[in-house]
Amino acid sequence: MFPLVGHAQDTATPPQELRGVWITNVDSDVLFTKQKIEEAMDYLADRGFNVVFPVVWNKGYTLHPSAVAKEAIGVEQDPFFQGAGRDPLQEIIVEAHRRGMEVIPWFEYGFASIYGDQTGGHILRKNPHWAARNANGGIAQSNNFYWMNGFHHEVQEFMMDMIKEVIEKYDVDGIQGDDRLPAMPVQAGFSDYTRALYASEHNGADVPDQRNSGFIQWRADKLTNFAGRLYSMVKETNPNVIVSMSPSIYRWSLDNYLQDWPNWIDSSYVDIVHPQAYRYSLGDYQGLIKSMFGQFPASPNGYLYADSKPMVFPGIVIKAGAAFNGPAYVLEAIEFNRDYGLNGEVFFFYEGLDEKNNYLGDSLGAKPYRERAILPYRNGKMYRPSATLVHETDELVSKTGTWTTDETVAGYYDQSIYTSGKSSSKLQYTFSVPQEAWYRLYTWIPSGKRTTTGAHYQLTDQEGTQSIILNHQNFANRGWVELGEVFLAQGEQAIVTVDADSALDDRNIYVDAMMIMVDRKKSPDVEFEIVFSSNETEKEIVSEISLLPNYPNPFNPTTTIPFRLDQPQHVSLYVYDIMGRRVATLVQNQMYSKGEHQLSYDATSLSSGTYFITMTAGGSRFTQPMLLLK
């Protein structure tokens, strides 16, 4: 076994612990560029995390392209990501799986339709009969969230279809609901649809008061039934996909959001649970956990059976607005969890791990998460092994013809190499394949200066040979790009060849790393040796030099562009349109001091659309998308 850099692996059998974190698109910039996603996944893996929960349903939009959402609510994807031509779910899957971390998409908004809009937002404008109603006939709301009617069969099918679509379309490891899925505010339950449903089951009686205990339980049971149908659908679609829920603390969850989640556990409608034990006093946190199971296993005072402990991994708040729980609190909470028989936790949320919270992530990686762990719900197996990478400089790569190193064009690990299209040059990559299985093959596309519109890749596996043509000028084809799926035998074999002679033009072909990662949709049962590889060619995280997201974004017509330097550097900042044409030069080769800087940009002369800010500094290139809406 090979220890990951910064971690000592002392035993042949690693611990089984869940170490997770929620990734949001609110108060966080992780999802807004490919580079930020890559850096975040490296940061987490290097500090011992093994599962991430990225948001995929928020503010009434899917963050990924969704045909289900397009048909049901008229919007295919969150406008920002659609305008940038990006799929952040697929990007985070690639980067997390590259480092051997599992990905469980988080449907954060659940049955909520919008925040802060009393009309119910775009979803209820398109589907007014989906609205949840309070006793006065208004759209049901709680804490300024306005809700769809989670008791309505169409709303339930919409949510089921969205979740099924993700399982079928993406190689995910699980799905997650939270305190809004399945959930409804206690103020809801008074729509004509729900009244009729209640009357049909109560001899024509009208619904009682919202706080009536029987009415609370009736509504909670409807949501529990939905949880059961959801669980069955997930397992029928892919039995290896984990059903994860993160409800509010019981019994508050039942009385306020109709979440009878101990019943979900007892009914086997969930695989793992992360109760939101969000407290800023360690004593309060410990009290919440003890109240779940009682003071000792036989205690009648708890609401969960002791044998439920293996599936409970509490949610711990580390950041909420300007409030933080720092290393002292978190390390003690983890120690308490382990002493209490709870083998893991999930942190809310990623932004609480960095220097703003006294480098909490580093404290976790140096202490409780120092020894790498496998996930408890995989029965001691390595379900998601790290990807296998081969770099253009590795001995397993054979070159013919002329390949030139370009130190000004950053590759995945270092610089990249290039050759001319229509030349006789070839590059062949051989991989050491860990097990016979289906794999997804990726290539790293650098940002070249004069790149080809048609690079030719030849893929070879046990099924035969296939040819792929990839446009390197397409701005979306930067970073890891999937070439295709290959079925590979165990051992060394040549898998991909870059053939310059077959390129579509004579422009330069920039090449760099190649990567294979197991496809669990096609090879669900293949077992891998438990190895935490340092993969010596993994790129170091360099976060000191960075181009930060502009704000506001979207903007009209001015925005601020911040960036950070770790030492004095010559900096160039340009703006490109979606076709890759430079439309503005903010600064060119200008010296800036160490620290944070910002520039104001006025886009009055441009039309609405997606643009890209590109910064070069210290031999590195950074890009951020921005959306101009006039």
Spatial separation of the C-alpha atoms in residues 366 and 202, rounded to whole Å: 59
Spatial separation of the C-alpha atoms in residues 547 and 533, rounded to whole Å: 30
Spatial separation of the C-alpha atoms in residues 227 and 183, rounded to whole Å: 10
Which structure tokens are listed for 215? Answer: 């009415």
- 554 cis-preceded (ω within 30 degrees of 0): yes
Q: Does domain 546-628 have CATH number 2.60.40.1930?
A: yes
Lowest mean pLDDT among 155-164, 188-197, 522-531: 522-531
Domain boundaries along the sequence of the chain: 104-119+131-272, 388-518, 546-628
pLDDT in tens, 399-440: 999 999 887 777 887 778 999 999 999 999 999 999 999 999
CATH number of 388-518: 2.60.120.260
271 and 261 in contact (C-beta within 8 Å)? Answer: no
Indicate the burial class of 169 (C-beta count within 10 angstroms; 0-12, 13-18, 19 or more): middle
pLDDT in tens, 209-226: 999 999 999 999 999 999
3-state secondary structure 527-564: CCCCCCCCCCCCCCCCCCCEECCCECCCECCEEEEEEE
Average pLDDT over residues 484-507: 95
Nearest C-alpha neighbor of 625 from the set 79, 10, 80, 124: 80
9 and 372 in contact (C-beta within 8 Å)? Answer: yes
Which structure tokens are listed for 537? Answer: 């060619």
**Total Cβ atoms within 10 A of residue 50:** 24
Nearest C-alpha neighbor of 162 from the set 64, 40, 252: 64
Which structure tokens are listed for 474? Answer: 């397409």
Q: Please identify which residue in the block is written with the tokens 């979606």.
A: 578
pLDDT in tens, 139-155: 999 999 999 999 999 99
pLDDT in tens, 274-296: 999 999 999 999 999 999 987 65
Confidence of residue 7 (pLDDT cuts 50, 70, 90): very low
Which structure tokens are listed for 194? Answer: 């729900």
CA dihedral 69, 151, 226, 104 (to 10 degrees): 40
Residue 309: pLDDT over 80? yes
428 and 497 in contact (C-beta within 8 Å)? Answer: yes
Residue 13: pLDDT over 90? no
Average pLDDT over residues 241-249: 98
Nearest-Å Rg of the Cα atoms of the chain is 26
Mean pLDDT of the chain: 91
CATH number of 104-119+131-272: 3.20.20.80
pLDDT in tens, 315-354: 999 999 999 999 999 999 999 999 999 999 999 999 999 8
Confidence of residue 11 (pLDDT cuts 50, 70, 90): very low
Using left for φ > 0, alpha for ψ between -120 and 50, and beta otherwise, residue 126 falls in: alpha
288 and 304 in contact (C-beta within 8 Å)? Answer: no
